């Protein structure tokens, strides 16, 4: 019973957040299939939520089971919902459905890659057209520039499979499936950012702009929150503490702060290291820590902090779909970035990112200087 009540509360939250009945149904489907009795109880009590999407949910539950008892409960719940003034569709008999059911087109598909250190990612939106193949929209979006690249192709299903497999091989990140409505939203947001940056719009995008906007849905939060709960992540203190380890993972290994932003702080570290003033190791460490803290404060006190929060939320979704344990760590770091920066206990991911970016740049500079010295011909 507690499990059913928890499901009901979650459905209320999902409806309040504007999720579609399809998204809600996908979240309850595993339990519905695993435990039909629980599914029946849920179908009986769900009418306490007087919303039109509940009626559609009940229809999907009806299609998902062949259990006569549960189907009877669902029909009764639909009747009760209708008696409360909520508009619902009638459930047709099997014979009626076989005669009247319209031709079902293939569903739309969405795919997304991870995000690189520049905030760029690859997005795909596949739109089927009965009798004439697929319209495949694919492009690179940036959370700094907007729509970097966009292409439109008409393909057969077989042609798409070959094209997609080839793209998977070339892309450094694997592509994971994503709600088409969310991919459409990401494309729309990137296009809006391009307009703000006064970038030239892709003609291919303008051709399908209205169709993309008709597919998109507004989401109150990034998609990962449909799969991982905020409260559950925050309760696990160990996740945030492991935030610095994310940069060791293959998906984050290339992440660093852009050179023009981190260069002034790397120069300060270099100067401190090369200083003629004699400092003991402890004094040097204090000086270095002061530089790292200044970099954190200067770079992540404003919009950039929220930019990284969104990147980590989107990466958490990709990692979750790949079954990677880093998904929860990425989300824990993102949730922590909602808070003001704490100089005493800095966000472990940002702290490591600053140090990694500084020392990567210093290593490159040192290597360059060593090569220059090796070219000097001694008299």
Strands (E), 31-156: 109-112, 120-128, 134-142, 146-155
Helix, coil or strand: residue 45:
helix
Enter the tokens of residue 168.
């998977």
Q: Report whether 331 contacts 228 (CB < 8 A).
A: yes
Q: 2-54 pLDDT, tens per residue?
A: 677 877 788 887 777 667 677 777 777 776 667 777 777 887 887 788 777 77
Q: How many CA atoms lie within 13 A of 74 on its CB side?
A: 29
DSSP assignment of 290-351: HHHHHHHHHHHSSHHHHHHHHHHHHHHHHHHHTT-THHHHHHHHHHHTTSPP-SSS--HHHH
Higher local confidence (pLDDT), 2 or 227: 227
Q: 317-375 pLDDT, tens per residue?
A: 999 999 999 999 999 999 999 998 887 889 999 999 999 999 999 888 777 766 665 55
Q: What is the mean pLDDT of residues 174-181?
A: 92
Q: Report whether 112 contacts 175 (CB < 8 A).
A: yes
Q: Report whether 238 contacts 268 (CB < 8 A).
A: no
Beta bridge partners, 151, equal 138
146-155 β-sheet, strand order: 146-155, 134-142, 120-128, 109-112, 176-177
Q: Taking the alpha carbons of 212, 217, 220, 221 in that order, is the dihedral positive or negative?
A: negative
């Amino acid at each position: 019973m507690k499990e059913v009540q928890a499901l009901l509360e979650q459905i209320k939250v999902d409806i309040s957040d504007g999720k579609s009945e399809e998204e809600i149904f996908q979240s309850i489907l595993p339990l519905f299939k695993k435990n039909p009795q629980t599914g029946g109880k849920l179908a009986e009590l769900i009418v306490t939520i007087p919303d039109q999407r509940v009626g559609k949910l009940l229809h999907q539950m009806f299609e998902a089971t062949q259990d006569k008892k549960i189907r009877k409960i669902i029909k009764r719940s639909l009747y009760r919902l209708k008696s409360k003034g909520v508009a619902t569709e009638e459930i047709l008999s099997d014979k009626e459905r076989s005669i009247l059911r319209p031709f079902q087109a293939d569903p739309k598909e969405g795919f997304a890659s991870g995000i690189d250190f520049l905030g760029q990612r690859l997005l795909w939106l596949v739109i089927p057209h009965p009798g004439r193949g697929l319209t495949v929209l694919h492009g690179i979006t940036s959370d700094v520039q907007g729509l970097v690249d966009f292409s439109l192709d008409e393909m057969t299903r077989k042609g798409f499979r070959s094209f997609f497999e080839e793209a998977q091989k070339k892309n450094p990140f694997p592509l994971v499936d994503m709600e088409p409505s969310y991919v459409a939203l990401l494309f729309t947001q990137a296009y809006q950012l391009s307009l703000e940056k006064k970038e030239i719009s892709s003609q291919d995008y303008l051709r399908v702009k209205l169709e993309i906007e008709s597919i998109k849905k507004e989401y109150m939060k990034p998609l990962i929150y449909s799969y991982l709960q905020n409260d559950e992540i925050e309760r696990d203190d160990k996740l945030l503490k492991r935030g610095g380890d994310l940069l060791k993972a293959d998906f984050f290994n290339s992440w660093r702060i852009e050179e023009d932003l981190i260069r002034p702080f790397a120069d300060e570290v270099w100067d401190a290291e090369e200083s003629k003033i004699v400092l003991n190791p402890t004094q040097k460490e204090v000086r270095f820590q002061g530089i790292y803290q200044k970099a954190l404060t200067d770079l992540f006190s404003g919009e950039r902090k929220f930019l990284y929060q969104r990147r980590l939320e989107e990466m958490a979704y990709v990692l979750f779909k790949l079954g990677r344990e880093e998904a929860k760590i990425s989300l824990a770091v993102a949730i922590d970035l909602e808070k003001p920066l704490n100089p005493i206990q800095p966000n472990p991911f940002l702290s490591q990112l600053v140090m990694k970016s500084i020392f990567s740049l210093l290593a490159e500079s040192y290597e360059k200087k060593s090569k220059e010295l090796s070219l000097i011909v001694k008299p």
